[in-house]
Amino acid sequence: MSDINEQTKLSQFLFRLEKADLNKIKKLEEVLAKLKSGEERYCVITKLSSIKSLCLNETIRQHYCWYLFDCAKRELESKRIPAYEQTLNEQFIFNLVHDITQVMADMQEGKEVGDALHHYQSQLAHYQSDCKKVKWTTVRLINSNDLLIIEYLIDCLLGVDDYAQKLAYQATRAYVEKYDSSAGTGLIAKSIPMLEDVLGFWRQIAFNGTINNLNRAK
């Protein structure tokens, strides 16, 4: 797709955003404001479900995935310890994310990366493939939420339509949802920095009509 066609497609969607989706962004802003002021200590995580419809447009959805990947990568790297203190498992994780970062950059440059994305999606799924039986169901054991977010984002980039929109929400939920014994699991005070990150992307589109220069991790 040419740059002109890309901009035309984006402009058409931004018109729809102004008409139908600004209110959804506003409601997310209200949730954030209530958490920051202390008016609310807890909000249900499904407040983020509007991410699905906000990610309807494929171009917007791709940029959102790249943006959220950078946020998740930043969170993971904030936990990095000196190389000489890292276990083999920790070294594997950081090397894996480094390689995925290059694939994301290649994709943003318009290179064909489908095979690479499938390869890393498989690696991420295999890394956290252990399951446990709980009563009548089986649950997947997650040791690294950061890697789970990245796995969702790669799945989203590989997916289409409703499935991809759902994965954008799942990645956002995994990024923002936190737990505190006094508040429970959902949107809580600990979620504020992550919700700020998410809204940083949508504010840029809503108010400036652009998806450029949104990479917080650089």
Residue in 190, 199, 206 with CA at minimum distance from that of residue 36: 190
Phi, psi of 134 (to 5 degrees): -125, 110
Per-residue model confidence (pLDDT) at position 4: 40
Distances (CA, A) of 26 to 18, 84, 94, 209: 11, 46, 36, 16
Strand ranges for 88-143 from DSSP E: 131-134, 137-140
pLDDT in tens, 22-74: 899 999 999 999 999 999 999 999 999 999 999 998 989 999 999 999 999 99
What distance lies between CA 102 and its chain's CA centroid? 17
Tokens, residue 89: 């498992």
Q: Rg of the chain over CA atoms, in angstroms? A: 18
Q: What is the mean pLDDT of residues 132-148?
A: 90
Single-letter code of the amino acid located at 203: R
Distances (CA, A) of 150 to 82, 128, 154, 156, 161: 23, 12, 6, 10, 19
Is the confidence at residue 125, as pLDDT, over 80? Answer: yes
Per-residue model confidence (pLDDT) at position 209: 63
Per-residue model confidence (pLDDT) at position 212: 58
